[in-house]
């Protein structure tokens, strides 16, 4: 690796719903991470489990985070030159379509949109934008609990969807 290369590895989780055991398994399965993002529905689980990992974390509140005083529901992060819009997704009708969240991503000038809520993994590229749902670490509505890893190196963004074994 040359000094001009920029590289960051981000773990992405969502919808842990109080299951610290599965959240821990998800984070452990992703290998060495530079930071972790939790996309809501028990974002406090990430705060608790991070005592073990001691990584920089970012999080947003989901529709089941009822006492989320001061915790934002949407955020834009600037990581290694990439604009990453993070949200739980429930405000954007993600069960029915990704159109609203895509247009919100355009409005935020996002390179990457991260969302949860559906408990189903999804990765789509629309134009230059990546839309990513890591699935749920504890209550999947598809095949198995899931998480995702984002690798950002210079201008390249690599997405890896992962499944977690019970």
- Secondary structure of the chain as H, E, C letters: CCCCCCEEEEEEECCCCCCHHHHHHHHHHCCCCCEEEECCCCCHHHHHHHHHHCCCEEECCCCCCCCCCCCCCEEEEEECCEEEEEECCHHHCCCCCCHHHHHHHHHCCCCEEECCCCCCEEEEEECCEEEEEECCCCCCCCCCCEEEEEEEECCEEEEEEEECCC
Which is nearest to 45 in space by CA: 74, 90, 15? 15
The answer, yes or no, to whether residue 2 has pLDDT greater than 50, is no
pLDDT tens for residues 7-29?
A: 999 999 999 999 999 999 999 99
For residue 51, give the 3-state DSSP assignment: helix
Which is nearest to 6 in space by CA: 155, 142, 138? 155
Question: Would you state the pLDDT for residue 117?
Answer: 98
If you average pLDDT over residues 59-64, what whole number do you get?
Answer: 95
Domains of the chain (ranges, CATH numbers): 7-163 (3.60.21.10)
Please, what is the average pLDDT of the chain? 94
Question: Would you state the pLDDT for residue 164?
Answer: 95
Question: Would you state the pLDDT for residue 15?
Answer: 98
If you average pLDDT over residues 34-51, what whole number do you get?
Answer: 96
Structure-token match 């405000």, residue found: 91
pLDDT tens for residues 102-116?
A: 999 999 999 999 999
Question: Would you state the pLDDT for residue 3?
Answer: 45
Determine the straight-line distance between the first and last CA of the chain, rounded to whole angstroms.
36
């Amino acid at each position: 690796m040359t000094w001009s290369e920029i590289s960051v590895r981000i773990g992405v989780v969502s919808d842990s719903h109080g299951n610290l055991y599965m959240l821990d398994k998800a984070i452990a399965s992703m290998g060495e991470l530079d930071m972790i993002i939790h996309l809501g529905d028990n974002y406090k689980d990430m705060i608790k489990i991070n005592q073990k990992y001691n990584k920089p974390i970012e999080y947003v509140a989901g529709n089941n985070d009822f006492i989320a005083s001061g915790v934002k529901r949407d955020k834009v992060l600037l990581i290694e030159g990439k604009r990453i819009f993070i949200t739980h997704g429930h405000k954007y009708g993600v069960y029915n379509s990704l159109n609203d969240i895509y247009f919100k991503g355009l409005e935020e000038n996002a390179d990457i949109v991260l969302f949860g809520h559906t408990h189903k993994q999804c990765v789509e590229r629309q134009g230059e934008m990546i839309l990513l749902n890591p699935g749920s670490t504890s209550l999947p509505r598809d095949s198995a609990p899931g998480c995702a890893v984002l690798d950002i190196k210079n201008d390249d963004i690599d997405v890896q969807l992962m499944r977690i074994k019970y």
